[in-house]
Chain A
């Protein structure tokens, strides 16, 4: 993918995300929050009694007049009962689709285009929550595979990333938070070629170190309510960032190397590294 395309995509994504962030309806008022506003109807008047001399005046609990809402008595009778929890602090289970654009020549035998799609699974837990900010840590697994032909023979690759995302969040509202994430971890690239001149497929496994850095936002889809209410919530989370892995030089050898007469020397391929921008779109469930 050309750089200008990446820039355009990033720009469009940011634009769309910001529009989403900014183009919001006024939120519905939370029903369970006690109102401090005076009620609309005055309470029934109590007859006024002369106060004996020497009796100090009544101590009022508040300086404000208290008015009861017309249904105050009734509401206080229907409000749910929950144990408030720390707001913005939860477990999150995420599932997403990730596409990494990794223009690496070493991958050309195994993929027709420079993009690699992966399925992402992630579990995280908020460690700290202070006001609108929170910090979460988790574990994630991205896995994807591609198959094509390389010089007329079948080839495929499978890429695993096991990451430890460390995510800092800013909760703009109860239904939106943005985040920045750094996720170090490990990468495993499995490469294979089915060559007619070899008795079995030629393959190699290349582990390495991986690191992702990304930003994104989560939008609450289902589960609106008090932030401190512990309940399941469904989020939509677009995210983009940059993934990086260490490079390695695969050496393709047969699967039955010990059966080859003599010594087998592998086919030395170009350096492979899955590095490049990525975009992930996922859904998450928090609790």
Chain B
């Protein structure tokens, strides 16, 4: 064969080889799923697939089949928060950082709910997201990665830590829906935000946003956030000024006071590095003030750093209860005068939960509180009847010995609000506490369990993290049923299925995620359906 023909064939061979390298697939396939996390809503489980810029919605059908739907969210998810009623999921995204081209995504917020999603573009990127319990607002701000479930940004960028973006979900799309505010700063950075309920203030009922930084507390009037000129926020700088030591807020509680008064709304602030509790009473402001309310400050020394606070009704009226485990006591503070009354406790409880509504027989004039501690050094819980504070506080405490401390308390939803699930601190099981009978039924596990409650309060699911069984406990009978699911389980969610019944979805979040769906009342796993490779589906 002549040379030219040989050259031609050789060239053809090269072309063939070159062709093998042509074409690229979508980038999503090249990297492993990043930041996979599952969230349980009322009727679905949503799995975050950050590297694919989406969430995968898992809905159980009547026959336990799993309906999967992908929903696009913004790039680089910063925070995911479900709404309190478990009807919506909010996904905050950093966007592409840094933006180098017009195609790069901006920061955004995606609101997911049954049958609809909404994307709201944001002008600046932040990582922290807090949802309003009433479902109307969202607060977006610069939370430190690791706090509030915030994920770190993909790259470093400049962030204004004192900018709070308030999203009003009930406002029409546009400027009114998203309001960025730079709050006054004296060197602090926001750490937590709290939406107050409607409180009665001198200028009318409204809601406030309480922003805690690492050294002050700011009050922002939500009902006037659109005002022009801008209504300034009120900043309470925690610190005497005579020393350099800033007082760090560590949580707040709010009381609206009497319905007939507009000057007795109170906010109590727990300080992590001081023995004082700060109480703000929101009363009328001075003439000419840009705000129609003003906080007066009251410090109360409770004898040690308070670990938990609550406004409680006692036979003597409203009090602020502060738990001070360092002195094994609770301190009741009279809001008007700052008068304190110390109540010695049998254990160094550090957590307080009001259970008045769940305890039968309480007439509403005085609260009942459940006291528990987060360490193994405490050996049970106590019921504190605040209707007996005058003169004989020691008789107002009823201890329920458990032999171990309580790590957390899960509220069983209505209609079983008279039950609490107490997770033991030693990891050997948990207790179902009956508030009415004040009994605590132990359930023993062989490994530290993860717990999940059904939305209707009928069932509790317990399973070892990474184990291959899940146990259903009927909260009426406390009868456990163990269901082997034959694969590793990391999350369990009890959801309402399409037919209106209940299903349980157990997730294995390794690899590309698998899910097993069972009927919530199943006696075995034979009728379950398993789907593997969920994150392989629905991609471009």
Contacts and interface: CB of A to CB of B under 8 A. Distances in A.
Q: Do chains A and B touch in the complex (CB under 8 A)?
A: yes
Contact of A151 (B4, B33, B527, B528): B33
B503 to A, nearest CB: 13
Given A19-B4, A103-B23, A197-B511, A270 B15 contact: no
Interface string B14-51: 01101111111110111111000000000000000001
B533 A195 contact: yes
A23 B536 contact: no
Given A108-B26, A197-B511, A252-B532, A267 B537 contact: yes
Interface string A1-40: 1100100010011001101100111000000000000000
A228 interface: no
A177 to B, nearest CB: 14
A279 B51 CA distance: 35
Contacts of B291: none
Interface string A171-198: 0000100000000000000000101111
B500 to A, nearest CB: 22
A14 to B, nearest CB: 10
Contacts of B487: 197, 199
Nearest to B530: A264
B536 A252 contact: yes
Contacts of A97: 16
A267 B2 CA distance: 55
Given A151-B32, A197-B487, A219-B1, A101 B15 contact: no
Interface stretch (A80-88, A123-131, A255-263): A255-263
Nearest to B511: A196
Interface string A227-239: 0000000001010
Contacts of A198: 511, 514, 532-533
A2 B511 CA distance: 32
A221 B30 CA distance: 44
Interface of B, secondary structure class, is mixed
A113 B29 contact: no
Interface string A86-122: 0000000000010101010101110111110100000
B529 interface: yes
Nearest to A150: B29
A281 interface: yes
B11 interface: yes
B25 A23 contact: no
A111 B25 contact: yes
Given A114-B25, A151-B28, A268-B537, A20 B19 contact: no
B25 A269 contact: no
Contacts of B24: 112-114
A265 B20 contact: no
A109 B26 CA distance: 9
A252 B533 contact: yes
The bracket for how many chain A residues form the interface is 35 or more
A202 B26 CA distance: 21
Contact of A281 (B12, B21, B486): B12
Given A20-B5, A151-B29, A262 B525 contact: yes
Contacts of A254: 532
A266 interface: yes
A254 B15 CA distance: 39
A153 interface: yes
Contact of A23 (B5, B26, B532): B5
A275 B225 CA distance: 58
Contacts of B530: 260-265
B404 interface: no
A220 interface: yes
B13 interface: yes
Given A17-B8, A220-B1, A279 B19 contact: yes
Interface in A130-176: 149-153, 175
Contacts of B5: 20, 23-24, 219
Contacts of A267: 512, 531-534, 536-537
B25 A202 contact: no
A236 to B, nearest CB: 6
Nearest to B529: A263
B2 A25 contact: yes
B531 A266 contact: yes
A262 B1 contact: no
Interface string B336-374: 000000000000000000000000000000000000000
Contacts of A115: 19-23
Contacts of A19: 4, 8
Contact of A269 (B51, B488, B508, B537): B537
A1 B11 contact: no
The bracket for how many chain B residues form the interface is 35 or more
A283 to B, nearest CB: 10
B526 A262 contact: yes
Interface string B507-524: 011111110101000000
B44 to A, nearest CB: 17
B66 interface: yes
B536 A260 contact: no
A109 B29 contact: yes
B529 A264 contact: yes
Given A151-B536, A195-B511, A267-B536, A113 B531 contact: no
Contacts of A152: 31-33, 511-512
Interface in B250-292: none
B525 to A, nearest CB: 5
B115 interface: no
B484 interface: yes
B486 A261 contact: yes
A267 B30 CA distance: 19
Nearest to B484: A261
B508 to A, nearest CB: 4
Contacts of A1: 19, 22-23
A193 B529 contact: no
B539 interface: yes
A111 B25 CA distance: 8
Contacts of B13: 281
Contacts of A101: 19, 22-23
A105 B540 contact: yes
B32 A113 contact: no
A2 B513 CA distance: 34
B517 to A, nearest CB: 9
B485 interface: yes
B1 A265 contact: no
B134 interface: no
Contacts of A109: 29, 536, 539
B422 interface: no
A268 B533 CA distance: 9
Interface string A206-224: 0000000000000111000
Interface of B: 1-2, 4-5, 8-9, 11-13, 15-16, 18-26, 28-33, 51, 65-66, 68, 484-488, 508-514, 516, 518, 525-537, 539-540
5 contacts: A9-B18, A114-B24, A150-B29, A152-B511, A262-B518
Given A105-B540, A262-B527, A265-B66, 18 more contacts: A12-B15, A19-B8, A20-B9, A23-B4, A24-B5, A107-B25, A112-B25, A113-B23, A114-B25, A150-B536, A151-B29, A152-B32, A193-B512, A193-B533, A202-B532, A261-B525, A268-B68, A280-B16
Closest 6 CB pairs between A and B?
A152-B32, A114-B23, A1-B22, A196-B511, A267-B533, A262-B528
